[in-house]
């Protein structure tokens, strides 16, 4: 099994979700994150004091998939998240030793 | 007239209460937008407050209550900068018929102009240039509000001295036409001219902080006691009647709104309660001095029901009145103004008063809508062509607070840990 | 009696201030619950406000101050819907002995009924059906509040005209019995009948937003100037004395509460300060007109200390009075009512007045507890058997806001990005 | 003098409004600090309120308005615990020259002492021991505030009865010297004695909740109507003039501040608007009764511009006046006090009044700064040597709320799910 | 070394913590997450406009363990988090190249 | 490619960022977390009821790096985050199957 992790623009989340559904993937875990990279941050001003904020809001998604689905899922996420502008984020794949579904205790692909 | 300290105390307090309504509105509106545009929303109220207060002292009072020009407006130069409006020839404070110093009345009236301008901002949340809004505030209050105040309260066309008074004396106790229909019609026009937010109707735009909305509604209600109670111009039985009517109509409107929600959507919501508060307050505004507490229950409940349905119209008709200024202020303002024709205990249809009051109320409501819509349209289009209304699409998506005000409303851990330099 | 605009101005303002207390309470309570139930908590206050205001106009005033029935209640039909309560025979506004229009007094009294009902809700936070609460509000205010107001203030059994007055005239300046003991005893009974929240005493249920709690406490304090100051019924020295006593007793209660915390827990907390505010305000309520500012310091400080200890009782005794309505309102209400027997400058034990005032204060406090407890128990049990009180356990765990009101108080990024459709 | 219920109503209300300012300040300041120290910030206001109210009743009134001692202070034992200050010999309420019971005036004056102490706390946010602050509050109000109130308002050295009155009668309508210069100078000294926060000038310390700041500013504005309007001591034309001047000067100050920001920083901010509100309110405070609404526009606008620049000074000069008490209250307080010399319609330079008013205003401002600075320095250094001012560096980093008050302001999911035991 | 990651119901966190302690594991890292899966979300209504929210609040826990402890830890987490209802979540295991304790710079199992 | 994950004290984030920049790494993803470990939590008191909170605020950083850079990055993070006090946190390294840059679709080291 693989874990596909993506760090993407927050406003692409809905499209990524639809795209995964279209690919037959019906589960994922989402969390908030902040990114730092080529995309520049912004400046805030409070009573004349300027603050440079170089972290940009991102969303992290994690999708557990079987080995064979992994490339499809990566493809689906990348496609749906792409806007072509700097800051679109990264997607990476990790191999897992095992996955368990908590509710049933099932292991491996059955747990997905 | 002798000074009446009791009347003056109540009018000072009423002015203070109405002034508080504008920050209250800032919270009410601010809680309803997304977290990335709350500051801009609040700034539209605070900005309107700042601009209007200054303009009111300079020419607003004079245009509202100065020497009449054609029944439409007062002469702005008559009492420019309040010259001649504060003191009599002997240098003593001028005092009105209720024993209240004129300067107190000026303060009270200024607060009405302020809140009216601020109300409009809800229709165009999240997407307009702050500078354009500030200019709009100054121009709109001058061309739309002051004339309307003059027409209705300053002895102009829509007052008891105007042409329609031959049917029946028009009633607008505390500003159904001048404030709510005026702001509501302006909101509709502005929403149309400015256009929809990116994602309107498809992306979720839920209130980011509902306790803030409820707090805002509470401050509005509290302030409204000055709005309606103070419109008796002294502390007497009429003020008391207005107070009780305001409370009970508002309570009934909350029940009405919640009932619609429970039956239609399955849940009575806190946003519904807060919205019902405002709907009831708006509806009772013109009527507070002429209906009974018993009648107010019905007037208020109907307002709640009407508005609970009206706020859905924008999705069907496709205009982005973001925070439902039309659905609440225009609709309840119209209802309250017309309802007087039914519920007024002296002249209303239900009390055997015939249809003449109803007719004249419908007329002044219609004139108010038309006047406000036309004036607003001209101003809005002129500003569109010159300064422009909209911020960029990127700004809308990223959040107008950051782009326009260089601020974000709430600190999060990440933001707090990455500043690079502080300069002053 | 002639109209006194000064007295009227103060009573209009007092009514407005007391009305503001209920939204203030909504914030105070709302900040104290978890983030998943803040809206429901606030809705219990707003709902109580809406229901009670309407009921008050219909039969509440009449049951409180209408023609006496057995010293227990006023006849609800006597002045139903305020008929005969506003105008005299000539159609002029009725004016009371202080020169205040009766309609102003009606508004003022209505606000007391409203806040009393709302106070109770803190005992049953996070777990009850909104519909049951709304019905409870209407029934409880009718069967418990209006009779109590009649008995104490409307010339009934617990008033200066009642049987205990032969010992000494009972004193309840602004509602120690009618409001706080009444609400506090009802809260205790309701907490017992409704039962504990899932996880009470084992799971953490900390306040989700303490600045909101402090804001609520501040608005309560502000509003309480109307509550106590307005209970002088005019703007005079008694109102001023009540004002100063209210401030200094409350300040002393804060110091008392914080001292207990510092010594017992090691830290003086902001929740303690906010709670001390309320404890002091409650305790001084019945006594504000009959004690000295110097005496108020002690009365208030003791209230703070007492309540700081009393809020722990629920864990030991095992009843889930979620937001300590018993520990604060019942305890401080009892203390304030009885303390008059010690501190009243004219009749108190410490001022050489003997024990008769103390005795009569203890009696009216005891009667109030008993009356409220019995009536509340009957209503609560009847509702349990019919509509039911509790939402499901799943709803409690997932959050009552979502299940009952289809809302969440605060937007987070995730929630905002997944809406599927918008309908209206 | 006969009781004037109208004047009394207004003074009761004014006292209530000014009392509300302190919690308003707690929100204003609380929103401006980081999320980990908001409760401590708010507690400094609530604590100052509690301590000062009790002290005021005990010896504060007497030291301000009791029998004069050398033109510097009133004798604290003269009317200790308000003995002889409330009732006349016949046991009737004492009534002042405006027909207001003395006890009402005592309440009103107490609120001024309270807010003055609370104002100072903004200069030393996030880093001081709560106990030291509480002791400072009691000592400072006794040694710095009461004498200043006596000197300016109690017939002392800086009053119309003092030595400088031979030049011209000094004007301080509502507390430019007693409240704002006093608090501002104390803030400067305290910031220097207490020292900088860890990370001042290098780490980001942005406001954690700007809507809270704006709410606080709104409540301050609302309360200020009592502060300035009530300083007319009755409900008359002067109160009305003060009301209008307060509103328009504040509005102009907002515009002034925002303009500076727009031109200098590129964006008009909501924190700027909220700060402009306070700058305008402070500046108009001493002048509200002696300038015209037209003059107030300029006075206010200049205040906004001045303070918008002044808040940057601390970075350049290197003192950590955390929330700009100096940049706003001292600067605007000085400006407002001196501006009277230009703008007073009867004696100001711009109105042909010559320079004597200007001279005397400059003198009383200078004396106030010097007096406050010296007294504060002595108290601050004494406390530093005894109790100590600073919490540990770890506490500053981890957050003072947790370490000092054992609380955190906002619940997050994690915190809520890990409690181990509940004890009471 | 292994990393055991669990996405669980928030109200099970306390039990999971106790269970890990019982298994002798005295460290973990927790973060907020939102899940999307078989468990259906909910509907919110604002002024008559209905919002469908299909993300459900979850908590993510991460536990660094030695290779031999991994199965015990997975077991402990699954057991404590299990309610048997849809939405109980997933637990997965990844192999790590190395772990460092920041305070001391220790590597490998010593860092746990 | 490797993923270097660190759980560190929040107030060290700025230094870690600088340290990474110094090491030529110009991207990372940051998220909020809470830690449980040797470092003890704190006690809160609400109306006399004591709450023991044993989770401590932490920040999680994730850095995608090429295999050769991984040790440098681990070193850089550890050094910058170290205060020597209990609670400094952990850093661990995972091998990845692949990384994609969403904007361009580039794979592998080119995506970093
Ligand atoms: N080396 C990295 N390790 C982890 N996350 C990274 C790394 N580089 C970029 N990211 C994440 O990807 C996001 C986008 O990266 P950025 O360099 O701004 O644009 P792009 O990927 O389009 O070139 C960043 O905000 C960050 O969250
Ligand atoms: N394929 C997946 N990848 C990542 N996380 C998943 C996946 N499927 C489910 N989850 C996580 O597990 C949680 C529970 O999954 P769900 O399908 O609702 O129930 P169950 O696991 O009991 O069948 C989801 O909310 C989500 O956080
Ligand atoms: N076994 C573990 N698995 C995951 N995270 C851990 C583990 N042990 C510690 N941590 C994380 O590292 C942080 C610091 O650990 P702690 O034991 O308090 O101090 P130290 O690492 O200095 O010995 C914890 O707050 C937690 O976030």
Residues of C in contact with E52 (CB under 8 A): 418-421
Q: Does the CB of F51 have a partner CB in chain C at under 8 Å?
A: yes
Mean pLDDT of B42-56: 98
A85 lines ligand 1 (CB under 6 A): no
The values of phi and psi at residue C192, to 5°, are -70, -45
Asked if the Cβ–Cβ distance from C409 to B268 is below 8 Å, we say: no
- Minimum CA distance residue for ligand 1 atom 13: A89
pLDDT band at C422 (very low <50, low <70, confident <90, very high): low
| Interval between CA F26 and ligand 1 midpoint (Å) | 8
| Interval between CA B415 and ligand 1 midpoint (Å) | 17
pTM of the model: 0.97
Instruction: Tell me the C-alpha to C-alpha distance, in Å, between residue C179 and each of C325, C368, D67.
Output: 12, 10, 42
Q: Is the residue at C181 inside a domain?
A: yes
To test the pocket of ligand 2, the residue of A20, A25, A27 to mutate (highest count of ligand atoms within 8 Å of its CB) is A27
Q: Is the residue at B399 inside a domain?
A: no
Residues C76-111 pLDDT 10s: 999 999 999 999 999 999 999 999 999 999 999 999
**Contact assessment for residue C64 and residue C150, using Cβ atoms and an 8 Å cutoff:** yes
Asked if the Cβ–Cβ distance from F8 to E102 is below 8 Å, we say: yes
The minimal CB distance from B418 to the residues F14, F32, F57 is found for F14
The minimal CB distance from F60 to the residues E3, E29, E100 is found for E29
In the prediction, which pLDDT does C247 show?
98
Residues of D in contact with A41 (CB under 8 A): none
Mean pLDDT of C267-271: 98
Q: Does the CB of B202 have a partner CB in chain D at under 8 Å?
A: no
Q: How far apart are CA D126 and CA D395, in angstroms?
A: 9
Q: Does the CB of F86 have a partner CB in chain C at under 8 Å?
A: no
| Interval between CA E34 and ligand 1 midpoint (Å) | 22
Residues B122-144 pLDDT 10s: 999 999 999 999 999 999 999 99
Which residues of D, range 258-317, sit inside 8 Å of B by Cβ? Answer: 258, 265-271, 273-274, 276-277, 292-294, 297, 311-316
Q: Does the CB of E3 have a partner CB in chain A at under 8 Å?
A: no
User: Which residues are paired to F49 by β-bridges?
Assistant: F46
pLDDT band at B418 (very low <50, low <70, confident <90, very high): very low
Q: How many domains does chain B have?
A: 1
Q: How far apart are CA C325 and CA D422, in angstroms?
A: 19
Which residues of E, range 12-51, sit inside 8 Å of F by Cβ? Answer: 17, 26-32
Residue of A nearest to E94 (CA): A96
Residues of A in contact with E38 (CB under 8 A): 26-27
Q: Which residues of D88-120 are buried (b: 16+ CB within 10 A; e: fewer)?
A: eeeeebbbbebbbbbbbbbbbbbbbbbbbbbbb
Helix %, strand %, coil % of chain D (to 5): 65, 5, 30
Among the bound ligands, name the one nearest to the CA of residue F105: 1
pLDDT tens per residue across all 424 residues of chain D: 799 999 999 999 999 999 999 999 999 999 999 999 999 999 999 999 999 999 999 999 999 999 999 999 999 999 999 999 999 999 999 999 999 999 999 999 999 999 999 999 999 999 999 999 999 999 999 999 999 999 999 999 999 999 999 999 999 999 999 999 999 999 999 999 999 999 998 888 899 999 999 999 999 999 999 999 999 999 999 999 999 999 999 999 999 999 999 999 999 999 999 999 999 999 999 999 999 999 999 999 999 999 999 999 999 999 999 999 999 999 999 999 999 999 999 999 999 999 999 999 999 999 999 999 999 999 999 999 999 999 999 999 889 999 999 999 998 754 444 444 454 4
Domain that holds residue D228: 5-390
Q: Does the CB of E95 have a partner CB in chain A at under 8 Å?
A: yes
**Residue of B148, D253, A27, D398 whose CA lies nearest to E34:** A27
In the prediction, which pLDDT does C415 show?
43
A5 lines ligand 1 (CB under 6 A): no
Please report the atom of ligand 3 found closest to the CA of residue F90: 12
Q: How far apart are CA B194 and CA F50, in angstroms?
A: 54
Among the bound ligands, name the one nearest to the CA of residue F103: 1
Q: Is the residue at C413 inside a domain?
A: no
Among the bound ligands, name the one nearest to the CA of residue E88: 2
Q: Is the pLDDT at F97 greater than 90, yes or no?
A: yes
The values of phi and psi at residue B290, to 5°, are -125, 5
ipTM of the complex: 0.96
Asked if the Cβ–Cβ distance from F49 to C312 is below 8 Å, we say: yes
- H/E segment holding residue E111: none
- Minimum CA distance residue for ligand 1 atom 7: F27
Q: Does the CB of A29 have a partner CB in chain C at under 8 Å?
A: no
**Contact assessment for residue F9 and residue F59, using Cβ atoms and an 8 Å cutoff:** yes
Q: Is the residue at D396 inside a domain?
A: no
Q: Is the pLDDT at B414 greater than 50, yes or no?
A: no
pLDDT band at B223 (very low <50, low <70, confident <90, very high): very high
Q: Does the CB of A93 have a partner CB in chain E at under 8 Å?
A: no
| Interval between CA E1 and ligand 2 midpoint (Å) | 25
Average model confidence (pLDDT) for chain C? 95
Q: Within 6 Å (CB) of ligand 3, which residues are found?
A: E 27-29, 62-64, 101, 103, 112; F 7, 35-39, 56, 58, 86-90
Residues C7-65 pLDDT 10s: 999 999 999 999 999 999 999 999 999 999 999 999 999 999 999 999 999 999 999 99
Other CB atoms within 10 Å distance of the CB of residue D67: 12
Q: Does the CB of A46 have a partner CB in chain D at under 8 Å?
A: yes
pLDDT band at B404 (very low <50, low <70, confident <90, very high): very high
Among the bound ligands, name the one nearest to the CA of residue E40: 2
HEC string of chain F? CEEEEEEECHHHHHHHHHHHHHCCCCCEEEEEEEEECCCCCEEEEECCEEEEECCEEEEEEEEEECCCCHHHHHHHHHHHHCCCCCCCEEEEEEECCEEEECCCCCEHHHHC
CATH number at residue B359: 1.10.3430.10
In the prediction, which pLDDT does C413 show?
56
Please report the atom of ligand 2 found closest to the CA of residue A62: 4
Asked if the Cβ–Cβ distance from B422 to A50 is below 8 Å, we say: yes
Q: How far apart are CA C283 and CA C296, in angstroms?
A: 9
Q: Is the residue at C297 inside a domain?
A: yes
**Residue of C226, C16, C378 whose CA lies nearest to B240:** C16
pLDDT band at F42 (very low <50, low <70, confident <90, very high): confident
Asked if the Cβ–Cβ distance from F10 to B413 is below 8 Å, we say: yes
Residues of B in contact with A50 (CB under 8 A): 421-423
In the prediction, which pLDDT does B253 show?
98
If you average pLDDT over each of B396-405, D267-276, F12-21, which comes out highest?
A: D267-276
In the prediction, which pLDDT does B152 show?
97
pLDDT band at C169 (very low <50, low <70, confident <90, very high): very high
- Minimum CA distance residue for ligand 3 atom 13: F89
Residues of F in contact with A82 (CB under 8 A): 102-103, 105
Residues of D in contact with F59 (CB under 8 A): none
Among the bound ligands, name the one nearest to the CA of residue F38: 3
Q: Is the residue at D37 inside a domain?
A: yes
pLDDT band at F53 (very low <50, low <70, confident <90, very high): confident
Residue of B nearest to D14 (CA): B13
Q: Is the residue at D126 inside a domain?
A: yes
To test the pocket of ligand 1, the residue of F1, F24, F29 to mutate (highest count of ligand atoms within 8 Å of its CB) is F29
- Minimum CA distance residue for ligand 3 atom 5: E28
pLDDT along chain A (112 residues), means of 10: 96 91 94 91 88 89 97 97 95 97 95 90
Q: Does the CB of D10 have a partner CB in chain C at under 8 Å?
A: yes
Please report the atom of ligand 2 found closest to the CA of residue E33: 27
Rounded (10°) angle between helices B237-264 and C5-32: 30
Mean pLDDT of B77-85: 97
**Residue of B189, B246, B194 whose CA lies nearest to B385:** B194
Q: Is the residue at B398 inside a domain?
A: no
Q: Is the pLDDT at B90 greater than 90, yes or no?
A: yes
């Amino acid at each position: 099994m693989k874990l596909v992790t993506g760090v993407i623009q927050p406003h692409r989340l809905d499209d990524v979700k639809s795209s995964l559904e279209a690919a037959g993937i019906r589960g994922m875990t989402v969390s908030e994150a902040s990114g730092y990279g080529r995309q520049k941050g912004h400046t805030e001003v409070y009573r004349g004091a300027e603050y440079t904020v170089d972290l940009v809001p991102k969303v992290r998604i994690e999708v557990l998939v079987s080995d064979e689905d992994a490339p499809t899922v990566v493809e689906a996420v990348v496609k749906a998240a792409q806007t072509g502008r700097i800051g679109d984020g990264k997607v990476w794949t990790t191999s897992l030793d095992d996955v368990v579904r908590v509710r049933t205790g099932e292991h491996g692909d059955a747990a997905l | 007239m002798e000074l009446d300290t009791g009347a003056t105390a109540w009018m000072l307090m009423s002015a203070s209460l109405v002034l508080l309504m504008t920050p209250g509105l800032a919270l009410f509106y601010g809680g309803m937008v997304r977290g990335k545009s709350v500051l801009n929303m609040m700034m539209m109220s605070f900005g309107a407050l700042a601009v209007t207060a200054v303009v009111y002292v300079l020419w607003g009072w004079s245009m509202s209550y100065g020497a009449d020009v054609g029944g439409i407006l007062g002469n702005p130069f008559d009492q420019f900068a309040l010259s001649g409006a504060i003191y009599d020839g002997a240098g003593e404070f001028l005092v009105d018929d209720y024993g209240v110093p004129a300067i107190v009345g000026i303060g009270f009236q200024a607060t009405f102009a302020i809140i009216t301008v601020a109300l409009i901002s809800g229709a165009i949340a999240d997407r307009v240039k702050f500078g354009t809004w500030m200019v709009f505030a100054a121009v709109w209050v001058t061309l739309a509000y002051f004339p309307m105040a003059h027409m209705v309260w300053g002895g102009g066309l829509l007052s008891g001295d105007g042409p329609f008074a031959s049917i029946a004396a028009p009633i607008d106790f505390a500003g159904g036409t001048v404030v709510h229909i005026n702001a509501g019609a302006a909101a509709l026009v502005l929403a149309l001219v400015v256009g929809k937010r990116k994602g309107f109707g498809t992306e979720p735009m839920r209130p980011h902080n509902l306790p803030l909305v409820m707090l805002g509604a509470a401050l509005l209600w509290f302030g409204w006691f000055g709005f309606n109670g103070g419109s008796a111009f002294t502390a007497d039985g009429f003020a008391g009647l207005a107070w009780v009517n305001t409370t009970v109509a508002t309570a009934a409107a909350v029940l009405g709104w919640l009932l619609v929600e429970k039956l239609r959507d399955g849940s009575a919501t806190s946003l519904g309660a807060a919205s019902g508060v405002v709907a009831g307050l708006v509806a009772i505004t013109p009527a507070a001095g002429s209906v009974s507490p018993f009648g107010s229950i019905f007037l208020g409940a109907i307002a709640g029901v009407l508005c609970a349905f009206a706020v859905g119209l924008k999705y069907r008709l496709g205009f982005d009145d973001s925070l439902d200024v039309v659905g609440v202020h225009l609709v309840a303002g119209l209802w309250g103004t017309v309802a007087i024709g039914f519920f007024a205990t002296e002249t209303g249809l239900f009390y055997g008063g015939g249809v003449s009051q109803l007719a004249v109320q419908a007329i002044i409501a219609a004139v108010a809508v038309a006047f406000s819509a036309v004036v607003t349209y001209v101003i809005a289009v002129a500003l569109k062509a010159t300064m422009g209304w909209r911020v960029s699409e990127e700004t809308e998506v990223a959040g107008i607070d950051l782009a326009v005000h260089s601020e974000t409303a709430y600190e999060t851990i990440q933001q707090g840990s990455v500043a690079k330099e502080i300069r002053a």
